[in-house]
Structure 1
Amino acid sequence: MDIVAIERVSFDMCIEKEWIEGKTLAASLNISLRTLQSLRESGKLSFSTVGKKVYYKVSEVQKLLDSGRIKVTIKE
């Protein structure tokens, strides 16, 4: 692996730790994509888009979870 490839892998790992794609987030929290959209529209959750994908900052999602502003239901 050359230096450029190593830098790219490190960059990708850093991005994955800081940002999460909307579909992945919705599935992991067991909420709908519409709920995420409502959080965006209300200003409770900021986001970035790349193409047609929406990404959320993991640290911001964690803050909302900690504050109880996002309710997570667990399927059994």
Structure 2
Amino acid sequence: MEVVTIEKRTFSYVCERFTEFAKRIDSLCSTHTQKVEKWLDSQDVCLLLGFSKRTLQYYRSSGRLAYSQIGSKIYYKSSDIERIIVESETQNQSPKQIMPYEKN
């Protein structure tokens, strides 16, 4: 075992700097916390969207819906599900072309 000795003044300086560093880290951590996103399984998504399991599989395989798989269980981010809902609302509300009636 090796013993290192330092002056009391140097030790106090190191302790002060370490305390300042710890305060800065705490400050950064408290201001930059990330929102924890909720994950849903396939059954939850099918119930929310009114999809069958096959439709949900189509959305996965076509790349329209991102997913993560752990073992045989598949999970989806709630933000991705919200995006699908918004997109379907937008598509359903798009103005339809009304052709004027012409009598021949």
Q: Considering only CA atoms, is the larger Rg found in Structure 1 or Structure 2? A: 2
Superposition TM-score tier, normalisation by shorter sequence: 0.5 to 0.7
Question: Could you tell me the TM-score, scaled by structure 1's length?
Answer: 0.63
User: After superposition, where does 1:1-76 map in structure 2 within 5 Å?
Assistant: 17-68=37-88
**2:68 partner letter:** S
Q: For residues 15-74 of structure 1, what are the alpha-carbon distances to aligned partners after superposition, in whole Å with 9 as ceiling and x for unaligned?
A: x952100112112322101111000011000000111111011101101110117xxxxx
**1:28 partner letter:** L
Aligned-residue sequence identity (percent) comes to: 33
Number of paired residues?
Answer: 55
Q: Which runs of 5+ in 2 are unaligned?
A: 1-35, 90-104
**Cα contact 2:42–2:76 (8 A) shared by 1:** yes
What root-mean-square deviation, in Å, do the aligned CA atoms of Structure 1 and Structure 2 show?
2.2
Give the Cα separation in 2 of the matches to 1:63 and 1:27. 16
Q: Which runs of 5+ in 1 are unaligned?
A: 1-15, 70-76
